[in-house]
Amino acid sequence: MRIVELNEETRAGLLEALLKRSPVDYGEYEEAVAGIIENVRTRGDEAVFEYEKRFDRCDLDAGSVRVSREEIDEAYSLLDPEFIAVMRRAAENIRAYHGKQVTQSWISTGEDGTILGQKVTPISVSGCYVPGGRAVYPSSVLMNVIPAKVAGVGRIVVCTPPDSRGKAPAGTLAAADIAGADEIYKIGGAQAIAAMAFGTESVPRVDKITGPGNIYVALAKKACFGYVGIDSVAGPSEILVIADETANPRYVAADLLSQAEHDPMASAILLTDSGALAEAVSGEIEGFLKELPRAEIIRESLDNYGYLFVGKNMEELIDAANAIASEHMEIVTKDPFEVMTHIRNAGAIFLGEYSSEPLGDYFAGPNHILPTNGTARFFSPLGVDQFVKKSSIISYSRSALEKVHRDIELFAENEGLGAHANSIRVRFEEDGNA
């Protein structure tokens, strides 16, 4: 893994390289995705089943596309009971954490007759996409479905790719059941996003689609935004570790590789002010690559987007970290909490050598659906807020409006909107105050 001096030039080069991984820059796929979406939109189930035959080599119809209770029960029987118990414990942690995010409607009244407030309403139907392909992610099911359930969403729909036998992964089905999903459909790819966005004869139209996926899924979500809400256009996974000379190089190396194994386009970055640590981490990485099962993917990821940056001081490292705005950020320093106070941009922050990134992926409770590709500058992790809508409440008595009606009329007239001003003025024209 390359060791690079951190300076303005190398930082700028890194940011440019990372941005190239963004799904919004993959224009060559957009035409194909647009065709899939339009076909599903106009032909419904027929198009979906054709794409499943083509892409997942699976024969489906209206009678088999939805997962049955029997299939869910079969999934439980195929799994290790201990793993099922672990999923249940993880679900408890996720539910407890997200329960603290719930906001309530509120009303504020004034003595002058004003009533202002905010009405919080869950969306009616949410759609959760669960990827397949290189790996199966029941953890993503928990992270998507549970916040929707906590928010009070009335109907939660899950879509996930089947295998060639028409079977959805057992772990995905059990996790969806544990999390409280109402319906599960065996559909993958852009066709699943289109089916949820516009509805088909078999798949209900949803109000919002959440969950990660490959480039086709990401671009499909982007294309359907506006017809349906989405969480974000997610890019490849990424981890950034800020470490000083006190860090354990073996731990740091293991944590960097934990994200590199996801995808050849995943990024793994170390920011340190210790050249000795960077050298030690590089050596540990080479040792791990000899024994890890996904070493080929990891090596390609590290060759593409793996960096060990050595900077002059902690201030320089923090500035670089805020510019990168990583999905996952670990701080392994003498005083990680002090460093954390200077971090502005990160999806999730892990503090100390025993808070490795997989803790957040699976068990701690905070959501692992996080902003990628620098979008942590303006996006937040998936949470309860993404599954509710907020409506403003405004009520004025006549006396309250009378005190301010001229102010409102003047504002409207200065914007050239006479009808706006008139809708206030007519309420006082009879008493001569208009």
Q: For residue 133, what pLDDT is reported?
A: 63
* 248 contact partners, CB below 8 Å, separation of at least 6: 332, 353
Is 9 one of the catalytic residues? no
- Marked catalytic residue, from 262, 328, 368, 405: 328
pLDDT by 10s per residue, the chain, length 434: 899 999 999 999 988 888 777 666 567 789 999 999 999 999 999 999 999 999 999 999 999 999 999 999 999 999 999 999 999 999 999 999 999 999 999 999 999 999 999 999 999 999 999 987 656 789 999 999 999 999 999 999 999 999 999 999 999 999 999 999 999 999 999 999 999 999 999 999 999 999 988 889 989 999 999 999 999 888 889 999 999 999 999 999 999 999 999 889 899 999 999 999 999 999 999 999 999 999 999 999 999 999 999 999 999 999 999 999 999 999 999 999 999 999 999 999 999 999 999 999 999 999 999 999 899 999 999 999 999 999 999 999 999 999 999 999 999 999 999 999 999 999 999 876 55
Residue carrying the six token digits 């981490």: 281
* 233 contact partners, CB below 8 Å, separation of at least 6: 22, 23, 24, 218, 219, 221, 222
- Marked catalytic residue, from 261, 327, 353, 357: 327
Residue 93, Cβ density class (10 Å: 0-12 exposed, 13-18 middle, ≥19 buried) = middle
Is 31 one of the catalytic residues? no
- The whole-angstrom distance between residue 142's C-alpha and the CA centroid of its chain comes to 13
Task: Enter the tokens of residue 394.
Answer: 């405004």
Q: For residue 271, what pLDDT is reported?
A: 98
| Closest to 370 (Cα-Cα) out of 381, 378, 360, 362 | 381
Task: Enter the tokens of residue 100.
Answer: 């603290």
Contact 36, 191 (CB under 8 A): yes
* Sheet (strand 155-159) strand order: 183-185, 155-159, 125-129, 208-210, 229-230
Strands 388-396, 114-122: pairing kind: antiparallel
How far apart CA 347 and CA 368 sit, in angstroms, is 9
How far apart CA 167 and CA 279 sit, in angstroms, is 46
How far apart CA 195 and CA 217 sit, in angstroms, is 12
How far apart CA 171 and CA 344 sit, in angstroms, is 36
